[in-house]
Amino acid sequence: MINERVSYEIGSGITGVALIVIGYFFLFDVVYNSFLFFYKSIYLHEYVSLRGSGDFDFVSSLIKLIVTFILVLCICISNRNRCGHILGFEVVSFKCFSLCVGCVFLYFSLYDFLRCLFGGTSISRLFVDDRLLESDTYKIFLAFFFVCLIVPACEEIFFRGYLIRYLLDRMLNKHFCVVFSSMLFTAFHYNYSSPFLFEVFTVSSMIGYAGIVSGSVYPCMVMHGTYNSVFFL
């Protein structure tokens, strides 16, 4: 009876996540391609220019953020009484919080050490050299607000606040939950280069474990925001 119960929980957990992922990418695909269609119909010359320069990546990121926000909002509406618990809004000690955030700085120290160690070798292709997002001064504040505050909050609430806890509640192994959510998170950033995707998966896994250890999504938000802020240094 217990084994049947466990099998049912695992099956329902995987099915639920599959539906969420399919729904997410379907909604994103519909919104993004609809935007491109109407933009191309109205501004054909600008469309060709922006398409060639890759500037639609920002539009893609913005739409992903909107879709993520919609998902989080739907989760909150459907679970009004348990919204805080389901999304991981739990109080965490300052010590635990500091240790989680300190891991980000430790990661970059180790990252720079390995990049120097393997510089000039084939392994160096796994490292990201250029992290600067914006060179125009007037865009920096807006980009910082978007990349370091809004995006980390929405993404962490969904991936580490809701998704990992959803999988853990279905009695799935915590390592599987972290790896699985990190794979989805990496797929979520599909429009980036391969070296950066490797780094995204690594950092996502680190944040995932921090979320499980702390039992809260708050350290995950700060870790993600701290990591993104390095792109402006």
Instruction: Classify residue 228 by burial, with Cβ atoms within 10 Å: 0-12, 13-18, 19+.
Output: buried
**Ramachandran angles phi, psi of 55, nearest 5°:** -70, -10
Do 225 and 148 meet the contact criterion of CB atoms below 8 Å apart?
yes
Q: Which of 22-36, 58-72, 77-91, 148-162 has the highest mean pLDDT?
A: 148-162
- Would you kindly state where each structural domain of the chain is located, as residue ranges? 2-232
Do 221 and 152 meet the contact criterion of CB atoms below 8 Å apart?
yes
pLDDT at residue 126 in the model: 58
Q: Is the pLDDT of residue 101 over 70?
A: yes
Question: E-strand spans in 16-69?
Answer: none
pLDDT in tens, 10-35: 556 566 666 666 666 666 666 767 77
pLDDT in tens, 178-229: 998 898 888 888 767 677 788 889 999 999 999 999 989 999 999 999 888 8
CA distance 10 to 171: 7
Q: Which residue has the higher pLDDT, 158 or 113?
A: 158
The secondary element (H helix, E strand) that includes residue 225 is: helix 218-229
